[in-house]
A = this chain, B = another copy of it.
Amino acid sequence: MKEGNIVLLIAKDVSYLTEIRKGKLHTQDGIFDLNELKKKSFGEKIKTHLKKEFVIVKPNIVDILEKKAKRLPQIIMPKDVGLIIAYTGISPDSLVVDAGTGSGFLAIFLANYVRLGKVVTYEKNKKFAKIAKENISLSGLTNIKLKQKDIMKGIDEKNVDLITLDMKDAEKVIGHAYKALKPGGWLVVYSPYIEQVISVVKEIEKKNFSNVKTIENMVREWQIKEGARPKTIGIMHTGWLTFARKVG
């Protein structure tokens, strides 16, 4: 393997994401000599100086987002991204428009999915755009185009398969989204507050959208060993997802 590549080192209870480079990686489980990685392949093992063994694997997009990407508060969670993919039925060759980019998590996740297509993501905030750019670079994905502009002023793309909005005042973008979508294309709006949902649905109802549906999903993690029960404390709410499909 080459310098500059990113690898995931996993053990039963812990894993580390690292770039292959000269030097050492200091961890709670001991020190890795990163030079060793150059002689290894995926699936092979490496030990820390404390003799703890790790397997070298190719990181996937979730590993990179979780362990390496810069985060902003209030990022959309995987459970919500999963619903967007599952409900809209988009395909690997779809064209997706996304705003606001924020840290870029949703754009990156969707771009990993539409490998034969493209994600265009709009972010007006310069600071956020900078963070997103770094995260996109980390992801290694080349089918994301980041536009530092305000989507409220219009959407350049036409014939879009999916538009995802995770931003304040999303209701003001519904008209632009309607125009940019192709017939049968989906709009998905993520809203942390119910007042936002109400405003968004009101605008959606003015256009020729079908299949308008608002959902929330709650994921409960369970502990199973030594007695099965849901974990006591957890995340009760992230946001609502509103789906609508352009008729044409």
* A contact set with B: CB distance below 8 Å: 8, 10-15, 42-43, 45, 55-63, 78-79, 81-93, 109, 112-113, 115-116, 182-184, 192-198, 201, 205, 208-210, 213-225, 227-240, 242, 245, 247-248
Establish whether residues B91 and A86, one from each chain, have CB atoms under 8 Å apart when the complex forms. Answer: no
Q: Which 6 A/B pairs are nearest by Cβ-Cβ distance?
A: A57-B184, A82-B82, A62-B89, A82-B86, A55-B248, A60-B89
Establish whether residues B61 and A89, one from each chain, have CB atoms under 8 Å apart when the complex forms. Answer: yes
For A220, give its contact among B93, B232, B237 (CB under 8 Å). Answer: B237
For A237, give its contact among B14, B83, B229 (CB under 8 Å). Answer: B229
A3 to B60 alpha-carbon distance, docked (Å)? 41
Nearest-Cβ distance from residue A242 to partner chain B, whole angstroms:
8
Quick one: closest B residue to A81, CB to CB?
A: B86
Establish whether residues B216 and A217, one from each chain, have CB atoms under 8 Å apart when the complex forms. Answer: no
Question: With contacts A55-B183, A87-B62 known, is A217 near B217, CB below 8 A?
Answer: yes
Residues in B neighbouring A89, C-beta threshold 8 A: 60-63, 112
Question: With contacts A116-B115, A210-B13 known, is A222 near B217, CB below 8 A?
Answer: no
Establish whether residues B220 and A55, one from each chain, have CB atoms under 8 Å apart when the complex forms. Answer: no
Establish whether residues B247 and A237, one from each chain, have CB atoms under 8 Å apart when the complex forms. Answer: no
Nearest-Cβ distance from residue A171 to partner chain B, whole angstroms:
12
Copy number in the complex reads 4
Residues in B neighbouring A234, C-beta threshold 8 A: 233-234, 236
Residues in B neighbouring A12, C-beta threshold 8 A: 208-210, 247
Q: Please, could you name 6 A-B residue pairs with CB atoms under 8 Å apart, sorted by A?
A: A12-B210, A81-B82, A116-B116, A214-B224, A215-B219, A218-B218
Establish whether residues A10 and B183, one from each chain, have CB atoms under 8 Å apart when the complex forms. Answer: yes
Nearest-Cβ distance from residue A180 to partner chain B, whole angstroms:
14
Select the residue from A45, A217, A242 with max chain B CB neighbours within 10 A. A217
For A60, give its contact among B8, B62, B91, B197 (CB under 8 Å). Answer: B91
Nearest-Cβ distance from residue A116 to partner chain B, whole angstroms:
7
Question: With contacts A60-B90, A194-B194 known, is A245 near B85, CB below 8 A?
Answer: no
Residues in B neighbouring A217, C-beta threshold 8 A: 79, 217-220
Nearest-Cβ distance from residue A122 to partner chain B, whole angstroms:
23
Residues in B neighbouring A232, C-beta threshold 8 A: 235-238
Quick one: closest B residue to A56, CB to CB?
A: B183
